[in-house]
Amino acid sequence: MDKFRMIFQFFQSNQESFMNGICGIMALASTQMYSAFDFNCPCLPHYNLAYGLGILLVPPFILFLLGFVLNNNISMLAEEWRRPQGQRGKDPSVLRYMFCSMAQRAMIAPAVWVSVTLLDGKCITCAFCTSVPVDTLGNASQPHLSQGEIQRVLARIPCKEIYNGQQLIANEVAVRYLRCISQALGWCFVLLMTTLAFLVRSLRPCFSQAAFLKSRYWSHYIDIERKLFDETCTEHARSFAKVCIQQFFEGMSTDLVAARCHLPRKAPADAGEAAEKLLGITDQGTMNMALKSWHRCKPPLHLHPPALPTGNGWAGQGQPPTHTSAPRRETAAYYSWV
């Protein structure tokens, strides 16, 4: 149980770990789905190819879309892409990094499905059973069979219980032939995916490490900024609701007192604290304006220095007091023993 708790805490440590865990779970789910799937080839010449290739390609496409849906960054990417320019520019490299990161994670489950399907061989056997070379593997000298009848006989190869073409080609020979081709394609696909992943992981830092770090940093910043904005809005909504409820009950108590119902009144201790968290936004229209302003013109990524004191201070009354001091020089010495 402790190991599962540690794994769960690791998945919750950051956004990337969480999405890696989701992709791993989806990869395991894809293998379980295929093992539980009841594969039934129609064994008809015009339907075998569509059924086999459909089972091979349609579920990976669904898993790919599901990987995008389960990714929390898809809404953030769409919002960042569609938002107005405002006071903050949009960096295409950051958007491209976010999309590529989501696409790479979403491709894990489809790649696992295709690999398992090809290594199993049922889809290729069903799809290409009519393309078995009868001249090489069987007996093509059947004068009483036309080309259409041969295709109908070959289409029943995946269905061993209804196959009746042993005199044309043995069922075991055709199935083994197609399964060997399917497994060869499966191992080639696994090797290709592994090679591409290795090249992406190893060669990318050699060419654009600085640009990669910049894109990764600002993509993390956008994610953290969005979370903090949601937390701030949630805290403001909680404080706003608390003040509204307190004012409602204070008004009710005033009405009861006016009706000569003497009730003990006690000022809430956290009323001032809740009012301070409103930050001056105390009505619905102002809050809506603040939300629209955040979407249309986000503040630029530049931290301004704190405002100078006004009123009784020295701001606006001459130059601020300065303390001149000689610049400090720092010297670093390195010692080594050879």
Q: Summarize pLDDT for 33-73 with one digit per residue, the tens.
A: 888 888 889 999 889 999 999 999 999 999 999 888 887 77
Asked whether residue 243 falls in the same domain as residue 137, the answer is no
| Residue 251 falls inside a structural domain | yes
Residue 35 main-chain phi, psi, to 5 deg:
-65, -30
113, 63 Cβ separation under 8 angstroms: yes
In angstroms, the CA 67 to CA 108 distance is 9
Last residue of a domain, one of 189, 207, 225: 207
Please give the pLDDT value at position 207.
Answer: 75
Residue 12 vs residue 155, higher pLDDT: 155
Average pLDDT over residues 298-306: 79
Asked whether residue 147 falls in the same domain as residue 215, the answer is no
Asked whether residue 122 falls in the same domain as residue 250, the answer is no
Does the CA dihedral 69-111-176-153 come out positive or negative?
A: positive
In angstroms, the CA 230 to CA 237 distance is 10
| pLDDT-above-90 percentage for the chain | 23
- Structure tokens, 138: 């069987």
Average pLDDT over residues 261-271: 53
Asked whether residue 172 falls in the same domain as residue 224, the answer is no
| Residue 202 falls inside a structural domain | yes
97, 216 Cβ separation under 8 angstroms: yes
| Amino acid letter, residue 141 | S
Asked whether residue 121 falls in the same domain as residue 170, the answer is yes
Whole-prediction pTM: 0.71
Please write down the HEC assignment for all residues of 236-273.
Answer: HHHHHHHHHHHHHHHHHHHHHHHCCCCCCCCCCCCHHH
Please give the pLDDT value at position 78.
Answer: 85
Structural domain for 214, as ranges? 209-259
In angstroms, the CA 20 to CA 16 distance is 6
Asked whether residue 215 falls in the same domain as residue 151, the answer is no
Number of folded domains in the chain?
A: 2
Asked whether residue 129 falls in the same domain as residue 150, the answer is yes
First vs last Cα of the chain: how many Å apart? 51
Asked whether residue 200 falls in the same domain as residue 230, the answer is no
Asked whether residue 46 falls in the same domain as residue 175, the answer is yes
Q: What is the mean pLDDT of the chain?
A: 79
| Residue 108 falls inside a structural domain | yes
